Chain A
Amino acid sequence: MVKPHEYLTYKGRAGQWAWLLHRVTGVGVLLFLLVHIVDTAFIGWGPALYNKAMAVYRMPIFRVGEVLLAGCVLFHALNGVRIILIDFWPETTAAHRKWVYAVGVLFAVIFIPTAIVMLEWVAR
């Protein structure tokens, strides 16, 4: 069994961090999904309760969390494509570190403008 500190001291470089981030973002998105199922369920009790629940999501802390969530989903999706690539086309393993960098670059290119649009309310 790997000890917690070994996740930080193990020198697996890019692939190790992609692996760890995939797990962390996966857990994060799953936890939000459970919360999201509950908040959506409130709609069964009518407009008053549901609109109150949505008002909670308009609080600044949740609007920042919303951007974080989008980042988690985006990274998990892009890194997932990289995993599938390595699984089904083993020859891509030869340049495995480059694929991790590609995920990082693509993530930044999509996430930065997305975050700017999603945080537009801060400037208002």
Chain B
Amino acid sequence: MNGAGRARPESGLELYAWLFMRISGVVLLFMALGHLAIMHLLNNIEVINYNFVAQRYATPFWRTYDLVMLWLALLHGLNGARTLVEDYVSAQGWRAFSLASLYVLGFFFLALGSLVILTFQPVTAP
């Protein structure tokens, strides 16, 4: 076993999903590892607090960065979870239920995350 990825689907939506995993994967390699390096090496959890985020989100750059990363990471993760469901959940009813839950959950988290990034307004200094 060479540990390769899923075989490339012939065409259609599955092919786009397959390509998306690879393209978003490369982008996330830079964005997610960059995010980790900034937040956990250059900074750390001891300095991350409300004011830290307020300063970061004062300019559109980091909001855009986080929004793009959120969408790519969540869609990448959800599509990966979909692959796992199709591999491991063979009973038709359970599979339909798992996939439906995945989509509902995915929509909820995508909406919540986007809402937070786009609407955050710092309260005036207490």
Residues of A at the B interface (CB closer than 8 Å) are 1, 10, 12-19, 22-23, 26-27, 29-30, 33-34, 37-38, 40-41, 43-44, 46-47, 50-51, 54, 57-58, 62-63, 66, 70, 73-74, 77, 79-84, 86-87, 93, 96-97, 100, 114, 117-118, 121
Contact indicator B90/A100 (Cβ below 8 Å): no
Subset of 26 A-B contacts with CB under 8 Å: A10-B1, A26-B77, A26-B80, A29-B77, A33-B73, A33-B77, A38-B112, A40-B116, A43-B120, A44-B119, A47-B51, A50-B53, A54-B49, A58-B46, A63-B45, A77-B29, A77-B32, A80-B25, A80-B26, A82-B3, A83-B4, A96-B2, A100-B3, A114-B41, A118-B40, A118-B41
Contact A96/B4 with A77-B32, A81-B29 known, Cβ cut-off 8 Å:
yes
Contact indicator A70/B22 (Cβ below 8 Å): no
Contact A41/B41 with A13-B1, A26-B80, A77-B32 known, Cβ cut-off 8 Å:
no
**Complex: chain B residue closest to A30, CB-CB:** B77
- Contact residue among A15, A50, A121 (Cβ-Cβ distance under 8 Å from B1): A15
Contact A74/B3 with A26-B80, A30-B77, A80-B25 known, Cβ cut-off 8 Å:
no
Q: Is B100 an interface residue (CB 8 A)?
A: no
Q: How far is the CB of B110 from chain A (nearest CB, A)?
A: 9
Q: How far is the CB of A115 from chain B (nearest CB, A)?
A: 11
Contact A18/B3 with A54-B45, A66-B45, A77-B28 known, Cβ cut-off 8 Å:
yes
Q: Is B126 an interface residue (CB 8 A)?
A: yes
Contact indicator A86/B77 (Cβ below 8 Å): no
Contact indicator A93/B28 (Cβ below 8 Å): no
